[in-house]
């Protein structure tokens, strides 16, 4: 079969021929119907080198995957060949307290995981191929009626990651509250939808690109602001007190400063983007009792909830599809910033 593989750090992935996978006991092979191209893949291609993460190439890219059950290994129950499914992307050890709750991104025994801190497309073969081998059937989530694999694929990360970040702040988003979304890209435009679908907060979207703000308006943002020197003052003027929850989907120095400047006392500042910025924190540098946290992906139970929102049409990523032959074109458009929403490769 054909697969888009990263053969070494700081290189372009190559479309190559590899053997079709065969499931062992407890494993599942998924015929891929959609594989999301994620901006984090660009870090693998352009920036990472040996020692940055506890795994190395070669491997097939693609950690946002959905399709149909193709083959079942011995002992797998509850699934049928041909059934539409999504693949839960992070693969932990399966036995620690976090993994037993379905929170594999925070696995506490990474040395016992299939690949420490990764999964399919992140150290092991992912879904930019005709088939993907999933090492444990517990990572397979059936798709609800009304949701096809092309729409489901980006929900496994671009949906799940903002959902987890927002869900943990639900108590701070009642009627009368304000949420600020910084960065309306592949994750941020889904974050706007999740805020509108699951909370009563009014949403302000901030970006440097007018086209991104138009996308935010399309998906329900109450207000949009171009990022600039006066943005923090404008948000404080609009809200009267600051934002109850700030979600930074960029994570660069300027966006972190903006988030800290507009957060309300007892609010949340959640850093989702991995642009490498830093935020000095001291007693007087942020409002009292502001909680600052990073998040990574989400849990398997949360993925089930996200897929339900997708099936009901409440959360629908803006998707541009590409053939497997054109997967590198999708990544190039991500680099250029010319892609709205999410790219999905359809083998």
Q: What CATH number has the domain bearing residue 243?
A: 3.40.50.720
Closest residue by Cα to residue 260 from 228, 282, 237: 282
Q: What pLDDT, on the 0 to 100 scale, is given for residue 231? A: 98
Domain total of the chain = 2
Question: In this structure, are 178 and 227 located in the same domain?
Answer: yes
Question: In this structure, are 26 and 119 located in the same domain?
Answer: yes
Bridge partners of 133? 29
Question: In this structure, are 153 and 225 located in the same domain?
Answer: no
Mean per-residue pLDDT over the chain, rounded: 97
Q: What pLDDT, on the 0 to 100 scale, is given for residue 132? A: 98
HSE-CB at 206 with a 13 A cutoff on CA atoms is 25
Task: Supply the pTM of this predicted model.
Answer: 0.97
Residue 343: pLDDT band with limits 50, 70, 90:
very high
Question: In this structure, are 146 and 18 located in the same domain?
Answer: yes
Bridge partners of 293? 270
Q: What pLDDT, on the 0 to 100 scale, is given for residue 125? A: 98
Q: What is the spatial distance between Cα 342 and Cα 34, in angstroms, rounded to a whole number?
A: 12
Question: In this structure, are 32 and 153 located in the same domain?
Answer: yes
Of 273, 294, 315, the last residue of a domain is 294
Question: In this structure, are 199 and 145 located in the same domain?
Answer: no
Q: What is the spatial distance between Cα 328 and Cα 96, in angstroms, rounded to a whole number?
A: 37
For the segment 308-318, what is each residue's pLDDT rounded down to a tens digit? 999 999 999 99
Closest residue by Cα to residue 65 from 286, 329, 324, 334: 324
Question: In this structure, are 137 and 6 located in the same domain?
Answer: yes
Question: In this structure, are 145 and 182 located in the same domain?
Answer: no
Is residue 163 in a domain?
A: no
Residue 76: pLDDT band with limits 50, 70, 90:
very high
Question: In this structure, are 44 and 93 located in the same domain?
Answer: yes
Domain of 237?
A: 169-294
Is residue 164 in a domain?
A: no
Closest residue by Cα to residue 315 from 233, 213, 230, 220: 220
Question: In this structure, are 178 and 139 located in the same domain?
Answer: no
Is residue 276 in a domain?
A: yes
Q: What CATH number has the domain bearing residue 146?
A: 3.90.180.10
Candidate from 171-175, 261-265, 336-340 with smallest mean pLDDT: 336-340
For the segment 317-334, what is each residue's pLDDT rounded down to a tens digit? 999 999 999 999 999 999
Residue 217: pLDDT band with limits 50, 70, 90:
very high
Question: In this structure, are 120 and 239 located in the same domain?
Answer: no
Neighbours of 285 (CB within 10 A): 10
Token pair recorded at residue 197: 């679908």
What HEC string does 78-128 produce? CCCCCCEEEECCECCCCCCHHHHCCCHHHCCCHHHCCCCCCEECEEECCCC
Instruction: Give the mean model confidence (pLDDT) for residues 167-177.
Output: 98
Question: In this structure, are 153 and 195 located in the same domain?
Answer: no
Q: What is the spatial distance between Cα 188 and Cα 331, in angstroms, rounded to a whole number?
A: 18
């Amino acid at each position: 079969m054909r697969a888009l593989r990263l053969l070494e750090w700081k290189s372009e992935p190559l479309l190559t021929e590899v053997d079709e996978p065969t499931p062992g006991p407890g494993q599942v092979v998924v015929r891929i119907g959609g594989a999301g191209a994620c901006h984090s893949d660009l870090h693998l291609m352009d920036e990472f080198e040996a020692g940055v993460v506890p795994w190395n190439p070669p491997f097939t890219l693609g950690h946002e995957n959905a399709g149909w059950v193709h083959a079942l290994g011995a002992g797998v129950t509850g699934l049928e060949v041909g059934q539409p499914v999504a693949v839960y992307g992070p693969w932990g050890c399966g036995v620690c307290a976090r993994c037993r709750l379905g929170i594999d991104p925070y696995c506490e025994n990474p040395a016992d995981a299939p690949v420490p801190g990764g999964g399919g497309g992140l150290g092991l073969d992912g879904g930019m191929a005709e088939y993907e081998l999933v090492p444990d059937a517990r990572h397979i989530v059936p798709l609800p009626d009304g949701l096809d694999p092309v729409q489901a694929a980006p929900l496994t990360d671009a949906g799940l990651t903002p959902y987890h970040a927002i869900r943990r702040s639900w108590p701070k988003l009642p009627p009368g509250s304000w949420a600020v979304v910084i960065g309306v890209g592949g994750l941020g435009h889904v974050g706007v939808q999740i805020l509108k679908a699951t909370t009563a907060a009014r949403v302000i979207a901030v970006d440097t690109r007018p086209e991104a703000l138009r996308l935010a308006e399309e998906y329900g943002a109450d207000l949009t602001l171009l990022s600039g020197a006066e943005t923090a003052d404008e948000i404080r003027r609009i809200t009267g007190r600051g934002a109850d929850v700030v979600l930074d989907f960029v994570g660069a120095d300027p966006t972190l400063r903006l988030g800290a400047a507009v957060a309300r006392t007892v609010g949340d500042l959640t850093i989702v983007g991995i642009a490498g910025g830093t935020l000095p924190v001291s007693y007087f540098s942020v409002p009292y009792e502001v909680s600052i946290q990073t998040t990574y992906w989400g849990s398997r139970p949360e993925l089930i909830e996200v897929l339900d929102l997708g099936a009901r049409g409440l959360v629908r990523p803006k998707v541009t599809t590409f053939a497997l032959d054109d997967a590198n074109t999708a990544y190039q458009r991500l680099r250029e910033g010319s892609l709205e929403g999410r790219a999905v490769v359809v083998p």
